[in-house]
Amino acid sequence: MNTNQIITLVTGGNRGMGLEIVKELSQRGQHVIMGARNLEKGRAAIDELTKLNLDVDLVQLDVTNSASVTEAAQTIQQKYGYLTILINNAGAVFDGRQDPSVVKLENLRDDFAINYFGLVDVSQKMLPLLQKSTRAKVINISSMMGSKTEALNPQSSVYKAIAVGYQSAKAAANMYTVQLAKEMLRKNLPITVNAIDPGMVATEFAGADPAQVKKMGGKTVEMGVARTIELATDLDSKETATFSNTEGQVGW
């Protein structure tokens, strides 16, 4: 099979940083599949991209719904037969500002459902497709919020943040990144696996008002996706098992 065309799947691709990643990678010639849990929202986002002359595919993909993930993988298998890049971008926070002593377990479970179990499920089901590429990448959109090094650093921008469920789920996703990367190396598979910290970005994440986030020093979405775009467009890079942002490596 000829796998020269780069085929990229972005979860949570219908808005925020996911949509920006979809747009920029499509502009750079990749064939991008937008994963959206809500097809209507996905179609509306695709319409906007069509106005920019971008030809982007759409697949229904709720990362917390195992049947949806299975179907998305089957659809990609039938349509393309392989995948080059998986960008696990879908994420959400459910336990913002709850102290660890009282944080609601149901909120912790929701944090893990999307940020950890969803990411693992999508990765596992897309791996057989990634293995059909001559070289492939998994890029996990993590957060500095998942870094224990930064949580313990009084100089860090996330030192005072409290969202232990979200932070633990991102920390778990970081460990999955390391372990999956090592498995790929051990098995001599040409698939790199890396985690990205986008920084604080002006999106509607956690119900935020992007203008407000910008006032608080939040980055534009273009800046937020810069490291992801850099990694996703450097297909020959062997860099794996890293956690980085635009400034360099981030402490785990």
Ligand X SMILES: NC(=O)c1ccc[n+]([C@@H]2O[C@H](COP(=O)([O-])OP(=O)(O)OC[C@H]3O[C@@H](n4cnc5c(N)ncnc54)[C@H](OP(=O)(O)O)[C@@H]3O)[C@@H](O)[C@H]2O)c1
The binder of ligand X chosen from 6, 10, 34, 63 (CB under 6 A)? 63
Nearest CA among 181, 214, 179, 177 for reference residue 197: 177
Residue 64 as a binder of ligand X (CB under 6 A): the answer is yes
Question: How many CB atoms neighbour CB 65 within 10 A?
Answer: 16
Helix axes 119-130, 164-186, angle to 10 degrees: 20
Piece of 70-78, 130-138, 153-161, 199-207 that binds ligand X (CB under 6 A): 199-207
Residue 198 as a binder of ligand X (CB under 6 A): the answer is yes
Contacts of ligand X in 135-154 (CB under 6 A): 141, 143
DSSP at 146: G
Binding-site string for ligand X from residue 22 to residue 61, where x marks contact by CB under 6 A and - marks none = ---------------xx--x-------------------x
Residue 14 as a binder of ligand X (CB under 6 A): the answer is yes
What gap in Å lies between CA 78 and CA 80, rounded to an integer? 6
Given the complex with ligand X, which of 64 and 131 has the nearer CB atom?
A: 64
Contact 231, 239 (CB under 8 A): yes
Piece of 47-55, 86-94, 101-109, 174-182 that binds ligand X (CB under 6 A): 86-94
Nearest CA among 86, 28, 31 for reference residue 56: 31
Residue 122 as a binder of ligand X (CB under 6 A): the answer is no
